[in-house]
Amino acid sequence: MIKFLKKHWRSRWERFYSNSHFHLIIDVFGICIIIIFAVLLIYSYVYKNNLSLIPWYSNSHQVIDLNNPPLELDFSTEEKVFKSGEGILIKIKYKNNGLIIIKNVKFNFLSQNANFSISKIEKAGDNLNADNISFNGSELVINSIESAEAGEIDCKIYVKNLKPSDRVLSLGAQSEYSLGGQLIKKNNDLAELVLTAELTVNSVVYYHSPQGDQLGAGPLPPVQDIPTNYWVFWDVKNNGDFKDFIMRAKLPKNVELGGGRSLLAGDLKYNSVTRQIIWTVPEIKNDSGNYRAGFEIQLIPSASDFGNIPTLISGINYYAIDLVSGEEFTGGFDDLTANLDFDKINHGEGRVVSQ
C-alpha cells in the first residue's frame, strides 16, 4: 500500500505538481473536504441527539416543548365575567427573539372544562394586517414573524355553554409553529371567567287573566268615586343562582292595597305610611321552581281623574346579586296604569268616566 501511494505521488508530481502548484492545491482542498464530511458523518452517527449542529439536517418528526422558545407570547383578558352569545376579548402580544423568520404560527383556544366549547374566533378592531393574519373557525394564524418583530392582536372568542348549571370557564390557549424542522407547541392558561347569570323580571296588571278568568271587580272603564279592583303580578325567571332579590313599588293616593294575595316565594310587605310594596326573596335557585308574587289593588277615581288614565302603581324596580360572580342586577319598569296594557281582553279601558 505504501509503495502504491509513493508511486502514485511520484506520478502526479512529475505529471502535474512539478509544472504547476494549482493541481496540488486542488487535490489538497478535495482531501480536506472529504475528511470534513467523514468527521460530520461519524459525529451524526455517534451524537444523534445534537443533530441541530449539522446545518442541512432536520429532524421534522420530533415534537418538543421548549422551556424558552424563541417566540415570546403573552395572552391576557381584562374580563372576569362574560355573557352568553357575546365574545370574550383576548389580547395576544408576541415577539420573535430568534434570529430567523418564524412562519405559520397557529393559535387555538380551548376550554379546560368539558361543559364549554369554543365556537369561533374573530378579529376585534381594524388594525390587523389581513395579509399576514387570518382567522379560520376557532384557529388564528400568523403567516410569518420577522426576527426581532413584536406585535399585538386583539381578537374575540365565542364560547358555547353545554351545561347551564356550570358557569366557570377555564380558558386556555395553544400555540404551534415549526422552527428548524422542530414542531414547537406551548399551552398557556388564562384566568378563569364566569358566565354571567340571566335574570328576567316581569311586572303586569290584569282585570282578566291571559286565560280569560276574571280577577278584578268593579266597572270598566273605571267610574269616578266607584272602586275598581285589579291584580298586579310580579315574577322572576332565571338562569343561575341569585341572592337578596328585592322588588318594590309605590301606590298612588287614590289606590289602596286590597285583601287578595298570591305568593309562591319570598315575603310581601306593605308600608301604609310610605305606601311602598316590597317583595323580597333571600335566594333564587337555578331550576328550582316558580318565583311569583301577586296582590290585589283597588282604584277609587276622584274628580281630578275624570277623563284621564290613572296610574295604578309606580316606581317599580328590582335588585339582585349573582351568587357566583357577585355581579349586581338592577332594573325598572314603566308605571302600570288603568289602561291595562297587558290585558288582552280589557286593553285600552282605562279612561275614567262619570257616573
> Which residues, including other chains, have CB under 8 Å from residue 109's CB and lie 6 or more apart?
90, 118, 121, 138, 157, 171, 172, 173, 174
| Mean pLDDT computed over 24-31 | 64
**Which range has the worst mean pLDDT, 137-146, 160-169, 309-318, 341-350?**
160-169
218-243 residue pLDDT tens:
999 999 999 999 999 999 999 888 99
DSSP helix/strand/coil, 280: strand
Measured at the CA of 66, the angle between CA 65 and CA 68, to 5 degrees, comes to 150
Contact (CB, 8 A) for 290 and 236: no
289-325 residue pLDDT tens:
789 999 999 999 999 999 999 999 999 999 999 988 8
- Whose cell is 335574570? That residue is 199
Residues of the chain with CATH 2.60.40.1170: 198-337
What is the per-residue pLDDT for 7? 65
Options 2.40.50.140, 2.60.40.10, 3.40.50.720, 1.25.40.10; CATH of 63-195: 2.60.40.10
Residues of the chain with CATH 2.60.40.10: 63-195
CA distance 221 to 242: 40
CA distance 329 to 334: 18
| Mean pLDDT computed over 146-175 | 87
What is the per-residue pLDDT for 53? 44
Q: At 202, give phi and psi (nearest 5°).
A: -125, 150
Q: Is the preceding omega at residue 227 within 30 degrees of 0, hence cis?
A: no
pTM over the 0.85 mark: no
What is the per-residue pLDDT for 54? 44
| Mean pLDDT computed over 168-183 | 86
130-140 residue pLDDT tens:
678 888 888 89
What is the per-residue pLDDT for 36? 80
CA distance 96 to 196: 37
The alpha-carbon radius of gyration of the chain (Å, integer) is 40
Q: Which CATH class is domain 198-337?
A: mainly beta
Tell me what the pLDDT averaged over the chain comes to.
84
Measured at the CA of 170, the angle between CA 161 and CA 243, to 5 degrees, comes to 65
What is the per-residue pLDDT for 56? 42
189-213 residue pLDDT tens:
887 888 888 899 999 999 999 999 9
Better pLDDT: 36 or 225: 225
CA distance 355 to 225: 8
Measured at the CA of 196, the angle between CA 195 and CA 197, to 5 degrees, comes to 115
| Mean pLDDT computed over 326-353 | 94
